[in-house]
């Protein structure tokens, strides 16, 4: 059992990026806190609601992080990888040539 869990975690670590690991952690915390809030809510309603608020915050962080990363990847990182694959002659230059004006 321990060996199987260790192999699974090692494979997960090798196959996922740092951002994916962070996202998985956020969602695992949110789900875990949701379960804990349900159990504590049976005993103490106020404590269960406070734990539920933390779980909702973790889920909100997950969603905000996912949206920000998607925007960053689509607008910035995607363009950088496209420019890296193009030959240097085909890359668009963003600077203008200076022109002299005669008066």
Contact status, residue 37 vs residue 55, Cβ threshold 8 Å: yes
- CA dist 34 → 37, 61, 65 (Å): 5, 15, 19
Contact status, residue 22 vs residue 58, Cβ threshold 8 Å: no
Quick one: tokens of 51?
């734990």
- Residues 6 or more apart whose CB falls under 8 angstroms from that of 66 comprise 23
- CA dist 36 → 6, 41, 80 (Å): 25, 8, 43
**What's the pLDDT band for 60 if we cut at 50, 70, 90?**
very high
- What pTM, to 2 d.p., does this model score? 0.63
pLDDT at 44 over 90: yes
The string of pLDDT tens digits covering residues 19-31 is: 888 888 889 999 9
Q: How far apart are CA 64 and CA 47, in angstroms?
A: 26
């Amino acid at each position: 059992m321990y060996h199987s869990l260790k192999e699974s975690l090692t494979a997960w670590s090798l196959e996922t990026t740092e951002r994916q690991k962070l996202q998985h952690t956020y969602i695992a915390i949110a789900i875990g806190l949701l379960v804990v809030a349900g159990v504590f809510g049976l005993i103490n309603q106020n404590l269960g609601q406070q734990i539920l608020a933390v779980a909702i915050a973790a889920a909100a962080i997950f969603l905000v992080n996912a949206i920000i990363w998607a925007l960053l990847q689509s607008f910035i990182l995607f363009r950088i990888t496209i420019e890296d694959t193009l030959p240097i002659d085909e890359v668009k230059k963003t600077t203008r040539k200076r022109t002299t004006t005669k008066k």
